[in-house]
């Protein structure tokens, strides 16, 4: 994995740049010493590390604007960073770039329950939004496993999902308005508390843009009333393939659970040893299915799901009888990623999405790849929407294991594309999947995507080295073809 060659002239100016930033920021907001910069050397993709040129911690939109305007003027790159939980290297620093940490922008600005909206700064945690409104019986639906730590700004950058995105949508389906800062320092507002906006869907463009187009400084999201009833089921299967078949048949039957998660045997055992909530240890795969709404509707759907599961070969089924028991079912799933750390010194968390009907086939082929590479894999994923999170287990201290692990992960992602899926569901492309983009997009596709970036960031100063396998200058993408001295469409006026 190769990053852009650092600009030695910019690196040499570190003290000068830090001194200028301190003319309008507090001393503690500018982090330039070698030891302090190490705190920002990595994000959730810890296999890669690089200290930033400088880290800055603005506390207002005005400060973000001033930083970006200065960097645009001086040709200094910017890497936006939220809580640093990105698993694709989206916040990986560059040696000649300022890491822009947004953790100080952490205020809840407005709670408007009649309109069912909350407006926050980007450093508010995902779970913090729910905490701000739960006293009134409301919650924020998208709930990544890292929701206790990940921030709403980062959720927007990666279009994060979570357990309940099957029924209630990803971040993009729950964001109503944004304030963001362009690389020029200009502050833009789009959307608001209203349901929809006229014109181009710029909010859709920015959500999932991985910090390549602008820096979000304020967010308005939709909050929902807490459902009247919630129940969860734990269904055990003798194989992952049979559990995958059950998932496909439940959705095909017109049932959309609030959440539908799957864990295979290695993940089940690791999670149970970690949280001890009573997961069955004699099954090869476990489905956790949650339903919400009126109690009579939940019971009717659960009866249908149990029948489908039985036809798919389920060997156990347990339904929560109390709220504590339901939360216990989810405790293991939410803790599955750290729990896997009990059975392997290192693991590599992948993220690809496939059509649900291909789930059983893909799981079987992943098992073949596991044997081919000689590395174990634990599966924990959002089964209902086909968003896979294979955890490849390896030991970084063993020569060659990280290389084999990355090759294994690349083959999994190529497999996702081969069966009609995509390279990512909610972790983003970052640096992890950057060089696999040609497996999904041809050169023309990638050029068109880069033209969009050029419209927002013509100098490629925002998060360079991420998403695109090869940077192209905006002038190259806009070059006009002249044939025999004639431009295309000669009758059109030129300005």
Model confidence band, residue 341 (pLDDT cutoffs 50, 70, 90): confident
176 and 115 Cβ atoms separated by less than 8 Å: no
> Which pLDDT does position 472 carry in this prediction?
74
Can you tell me the distance from the alpha carbon of 394 to that of 65, in angstroms, rounded to the nearest whole number?
43
Question: Quick check: 91 pLDDT over 60?
Answer: yes
Can you tell me the distance from the alpha carbon of 332 to that of 340, in angstroms, rounded to the nearest whole number?
11
Residue bearing tokens 């994923």: 381
Question: Quick check: 492 pLDDT over 90?
Answer: no
DSSP code, position 486: B
Which is nearest to 248 in space by CA: 163, 353, 358?
358
450 and 473 Cβ atoms separated by less than 8 Å: no
Model confidence band, residue 183 (pLDDT cutoffs 50, 70, 90): very high
> Which pLDDT does position 104 carry in this prediction?
97
Model confidence band, residue 26 (pLDDT cutoffs 50, 70, 90): very high
**Average pLDDT value for residue range 458-466:** 95
Hey, CA dihedral for 487, 492, 493, 495, is it positive or negative? negative
**What's the whole-number average pLDDT of the chain?**
92
- How would you label 143-182 residue by residue, b for 16+ Cβ within 10 Å and e otherwise? bbbbbebbbbbbbbbbbbbbbbbbbbbbbbebbbbbbbbb
**Average pLDDT value for residue range 84-108:** 96
3-state class (DSSP) for residue 434: helix
How remote is the C-alpha of 423 from its chain's centroid?
A: 12
Where would I find the H helices in 161-282? 165-168, 202-206, 240-252, 265-275
Question: Quick check: 210 pLDDT over 50?
Answer: yes
Model confidence band, residue 490 (pLDDT cutoffs 50, 70, 90): low
**Average pLDDT value for residue range 387-405:** 94
Question: Quick check: 481 pLDDT over 90?
Answer: no
Residue bearing tokens 């913090």: 128
48 and 88 Cβ atoms separated by less than 8 Å: no
Can you tell me the distance from the alpha carbon of 212 to that of 42, in angstroms, rounded to the nearest whole number?
18
Between 334 and 19, the more confident residue is: 19
Question: Quick check: 359 pLDDT over 90?
Answer: no
Model confidence band, residue 199 (pLDDT cutoffs 50, 70, 90): confident
DSSP 72-121: HHHT-EEEEESSS--SSSTT---TTEEEEE-TT---EEEEETTTTEEEE-
71 dihedral zone (left: phi>0; alpha: psi -120 to 50; beta): alpha
Read off φ and ψ for residue 414, nearest 5 degrees. -60, -40
317 and 283 Cβ atoms separated by less than 8 Å: no
343 and 271 Cβ atoms separated by less than 8 Å: no
**Average pLDDT value for residue range 407-430:** 95
Edge to edge, the sheet with strand 54-56 lists 30-31, 54-56, 97-101, 77-81
Q: Give the distance between the most distant pair of CA atoms in the chain.
A: 78
Express each pLDDT in 304-326 by its tens digit.
999 999 999 999 999 999 999 99
Model confidence band, residue 483 (pLDDT cutoffs 50, 70, 90): low
> Which pLDDT does position 486 carry in this prediction?
61
Counting beta carbons within 10 angstroms of the beta carbon of residue 280, is it exposed (0 to 12), middle (13 to 18) or buried (19 or more)? Answer: middle
96 and 113 Cβ atoms separated by less than 8 Å: no
The CA dihedral of 451, 435, 341, 150, to the nearest 10 degrees, is: 0
> Which pLDDT does position 479 carry in this prediction?
53
Model confidence band, residue 495 (pLDDT cutoffs 50, 70, 90): very low
> Which pLDDT does position 67 carry in this prediction?
98
Express each pLDDT in 234-284 by its tens digit.
999 999 889 989 999 999 999 999 999 999 999 999 999 998 989 999 999
Express each pLDDT in 278-306 by its tens digit.
999 999 999 999 999 999 999 999 999 99
> Which pLDDT does position 28 carry in this prediction?
96
Question: Quick check: 155 pLDDT over 50?
Answer: yes
Question: Quick check: 488 pLDDT over 60?
Answer: no
Q: What share of the chain is helix, strand, coil (3-state, %, to 5)?
A: 40, 20, 40
Model confidence band, residue 480 (pLDDT cutoffs 50, 70, 90): very low
How remote is the C-alpha of 225 from its chain's centroid?
A: 25
> Which pLDDT does position 332 carry in this prediction?
87
Express each pLDDT in 48-63 by its tens digit.
899 999 999 999 999 9
**Average pLDDT value for residue range 409-427:** 95
> Which pLDDT does position 491 carry in this prediction?
54
> Which pLDDT does position 145 carry in this prediction?
85
Question: For residue 171, what are the CA distances in angstroms to 74, 195, 200, 374?
Answer: 34, 15, 18, 37
**What is the percent of the chain with per-residue pLDDT over 90, rounded to a whole number?**
81
484 dihedral zone (left: phi>0; alpha: psi -120 to 50; beta): left
Model confidence band, residue 356 (pLDDT cutoffs 50, 70, 90): confident
Hey, CA dihedral for 60, 66, 87, 48, is it positive or negative? negative
């Amino acid at each position: 994995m190769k990053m852009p060659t650092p600009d030695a002239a910019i690196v040499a100016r570190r003290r000068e740049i830090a001194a200028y930033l301190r003319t309008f920021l507090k001393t503690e907001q500018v982090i330039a010493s070698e030891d302090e910069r190490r705190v920002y050397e990595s994000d959730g993709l810890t296999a890669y590390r690089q200290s930033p040129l400088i880290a800055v911690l603005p506390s207002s939109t005005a400060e973000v604007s001033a930083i970006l305007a200065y960097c645009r003027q001086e040709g200094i790159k910017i890497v936006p960073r939220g809580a640093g939980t990105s698993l694709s290297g989206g916040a990986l620093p560059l040696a000649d770039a300022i890491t822009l940490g947004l953790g100080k922008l952490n205020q809840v600005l407005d709670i408007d329950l009649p309109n069912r909206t909350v407006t926050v700064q980007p450093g508010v945690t995902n779970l913090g939004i729910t905490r701000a409104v739960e006293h009134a019986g409301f919650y924020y639906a998208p709930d990544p496993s890292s929701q206790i730590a990940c921030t709403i700004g980062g959720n927007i950058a990666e279009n994060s999902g979570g357990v309940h995105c099957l029924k209630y949508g990803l971040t993009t389906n729950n964001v109503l308005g944004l304030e963001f800062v362009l690389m020029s320092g200009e502050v833009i507002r789009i959307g608001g508390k209203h349901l929809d906006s006229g014109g181009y869907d710029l909010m859709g463009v920015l959500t999932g843009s991985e910090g390549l187009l602008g820096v979000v400084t304020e967010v308005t999201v939709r909050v929902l009333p807490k459902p009247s009833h919630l129940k969860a089921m734990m269904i055990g299967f003798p194989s992952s393939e049979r559990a995958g078949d059950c998932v496909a048949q439940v959705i095909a039957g017109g049932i959309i659970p609030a959440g539908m998660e799957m864990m295979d045997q290695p993940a089940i055992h690791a999670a149970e040893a970690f949280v001890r909530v009573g997961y069955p240890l004699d099954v090869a795969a476990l489905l956790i299915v949650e339903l919400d709404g009126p109690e009579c509707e939940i019971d009717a759907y659960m009866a249908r799901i149990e029948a489908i599961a039985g036809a798919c070969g389920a060997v156990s089924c347990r339904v929560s009888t109390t709220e504590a028991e339901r939360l216990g079912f989810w405790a293991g799933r939410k803790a599955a990623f750290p729990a896997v750390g009990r059975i392997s010194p290192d693991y590599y968390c992948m993220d690809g999405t496939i059509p649900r009907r291909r789930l059983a086939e893909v799981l079987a082929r992943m098992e073949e790849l596991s044997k081919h590479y000689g590395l174990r894999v634990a599966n924990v994923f959002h089964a209902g929407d086909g968003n896979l999170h294979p955890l490849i287990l390896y030991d970084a201290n063993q020569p060659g294991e990280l290389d084999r692990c990355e090759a294994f992960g690349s083959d999994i992602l190529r497999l996702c594309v081969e069966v009609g899926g995509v390279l990512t569901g909610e972790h983003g492309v970052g640096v992890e999947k950057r060089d696999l983009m040609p497996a999904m997009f041809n050169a023309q596709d990638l050029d068109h995507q880069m033209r969009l970036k050029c419209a927002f960031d013509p100098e490629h100063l925002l998060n360079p080295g991420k998403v695109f396998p090869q940077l192209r200058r905006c002038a190259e993408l806009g070059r006009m073809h002249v044939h025999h001295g004639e431009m295309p469409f000669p009758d059109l006026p030129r300005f």
